Amino acid sequence: MSSIALSDFEVYCPVCTSCLADDPDGCPECLSPRPSAGWEDLQTASYAYLGRELDGRYVVDRFVGAGTTGDVYRGTGTRIQRPFALKVVDTQRYGRKELEDEMVRRLELEVEAMSRLRNPHVINVYESFKVRDHVFVIVMDFVEGVTLQERLDRTGRLEFEEAIEIVRQAANGLHEAHQRGIIHRDMKPENIMVEQMPASGVFARILDFGIAYMVDSVRQTSGFRGTPLYASPEQCTSNGEIDARSDVYSLGCVLFHCLTGRPPYQSERSLAVMEAHIEAEVPSIFDLISREQAPESLDTLVRRMLAKNAQDRPQDCGEVVRALDALGLNTRSSISEAERQAVPVGAEPTETEAPSSSTLDGLDAGEIGAPPMARQRVVHLVASLELPERIKTAAKSITASALGPGGDYAVIADREEQVHLVGLKTDLQTMSFGGAEGMNTAVAISPSRGEVYAGGFACKVLRWNLDLTVGLPRRVVDVGDRIFSLDIDEQGTRLAIGTERGRALLYDSRTERTIEVHQASSPISAVRFVPKTGQLFVACWEGQMKTLDIASRKELRVLEPLSSAPIASTCGLHGDIAAVVEESGELRVVSLTDPSAFLRIEASFANLKALSFGNDGNLNGLGISADRLQLWLIRHEHVVQHLAEKSSVVS
């Protein structure tokens, strides 16, 4: 029997559950400041194994979450200094002998299933051991990433190129499992981990084979196994035969969710969802997105994967991989041809002069001094739509705007004390929210929580839930100062607030505390969380730009100042670049790691009011005119190229 012992840790962070050495001022992992009452004592922690040493070989230093069959912790090896995922399974958790026997059976099944797989797209299992008679530990790879569900919570939906790549990799891993007689039976976004690799893009891995079905050894199980939103028709019937095509269906549900932002069937009642899987018409992705956002062949594949009769689906995941491979190649070819020939619909021709060594007038730099007509436009118009009828009358009095991830939607505030959510690349119906207090000069949206925030001259931040378009908003915090800028972090738990008096504030909804991170000499009209860094990006009316360390509240870098006041900003998803629209209409893209590298683009013709980077690295801009909303795009490769060529863009 293995042992459980105390480690050298004594306290932990109540926000992210990471164990802490000594008594730091801030948590090094989530950057939360030390609570006024001090860090939490591990001796009173509700996480049974947090801070414990298991078998003398693994020190448990963070609670990760609950899986299908047990709680998952992060542990560091004492002999091999690297992190592992430790799934701790207490077979007596339900207090019933028959369930305890079932838990032991499923535990043994999961270890056997996953230890037989050697596919790079399946989480590796290294060993299992007991720490008590009824408590087992499974040692697995610890992946520094997020689940696909967390990614979707943050972005709403994925661009189709990224969606097919993630699902193709998951299908690759499933195919090997199926060849070895293992059916997963619970394919869902929560069971796909996604890492962002430095050079090769996304990398997906399947986890949690806790309810796997072994074809050769287990012919029958009792009761429903799976997650209703992604369950196959066979799983939803009492006598359904389960084979590899059941996982194909569930993976089709995942692909549908990635492309549209929601599963194919939804209801508050699980039984209604299961009935829909059995009887309802197979939906099309084009019921929820426009035909310009994905090829017809992808919709055909999704509908095949979601066929009610297993005979009508791809017969194995290998067929899915081949179909997605072919679709990806064909799509890249057709997109390349279209880019060579396309002229943006509704784009107004703009006369520009040849760029100087420090400014790009909306054009690709090429060779300095080359004739303007020989170059391609950097700023592309990709969508132009009429303002929805309900906000046309308020168009001239729009006071604030924000752009959702990838430019899918916009949030707009007006002088009528209303906030509107408008679809740009989706068929999202315009949603309007009332009850705002005074004029709002800053708005933000949390895709992960489905919430819209606004603040302004009333000095308060208000919050609306996207599920409730009636009723008054909830007052989040009163900062006692006019609010000029807002941002919310990826988890939807912390607000960054820029004020008229030059204060950069951080509000944490978990502790309901507000701290001042920085004091500037002029109003802060742009404040943004810098992803993956624990930093804030701030820009002031007088043009100063800098980055701040949240935990220490210290200034890190002073960037090249703007020539006029900032009116919109955003930060790249990797935390390496920021983009700012100036009052003059110029667009500035700056490196956050090399203050000497920046790109200036003349974009006044686009009338940009909000910016957002997409998962693909492209920069999206929202333009607002008298009666239209326009979505503009600057491709990632153009930004990277010109920032690298500092000699052509540095003034």
d(CA 357, CA 27): 44
Residue by residue, what is the 3-state secondary structure of 562-577?
A: CCCCEEEEEECCCCCE
Cβ contact 279:414 at 8 Å: no
Q: Which residues contact 36 (CB under 8 A, 6 or more apart)?
A: none
Cβ contact 344:353 at 8 Å: no
d(CA 424, CA 229): 27
**How many CB atoms are closer than 10 A to CB 640?**
15
d(CA 172, CA 626): 50
**How large is the angle between the packed helices 296-305 and 244-260, nearest 10 degrees?**
140
Which amino acid does the sequence have at 466? Answer: L
Is residue 87 annotated as involved in ligand binding?
A: yes
List 132's β-bridge partners, or say none. Answer: 135
Cβ contact 478:491 at 8 Å: no
Q: Which is catalytic among the residues 71, 90, 186, 487?
A: 186
Phi then psi dihedrals of residue 260, to 5 deg: -110, -20
b/e map of 273-283 (b: 16 or more CB within 10 Å)?
Answer: bbbbbeeeebb
Element (H, E) at 73: strand 71-77
Element (H, E) at 115: helix 97-115
Alpha helix positions (H), 306-364: 317-341
Concerning whether 90 is annotated as a catalytic residue, the answer is no
Q: Which two tokens stand for residue 233?
A: 């028709």
* 492-to-226, 403, 406, 434 alpha-carbon distances in Å: 28, 16, 18, 22
Judged on CB neighbours under 10 Å (0-12, 13-18, 19+), 208 is: buried
The SS3 call for residue 295 is coil
d(CA 109, CA 133): 18
d(CA 178, CA 208): 15
- Pairing relationship of beta strands 19-20 and 40-41 according to DSSP bridges: unpaired
d(CA 92, CA 16): 27
268 Rama class: left (phi>0) / alpha (psi -120 to 50) / beta:
alpha
d(CA 124, CA 364): 46
Residue by residue, what is the 3-state secondary structure of 595-606?
A: CCCEEEEECHHH
The SS3 call for residue 378 is coil
Element (H, E) at 163: helix 160-179
Annotated binding site: 87
Annotated binding site for ATP: 87
Active site residues: 186
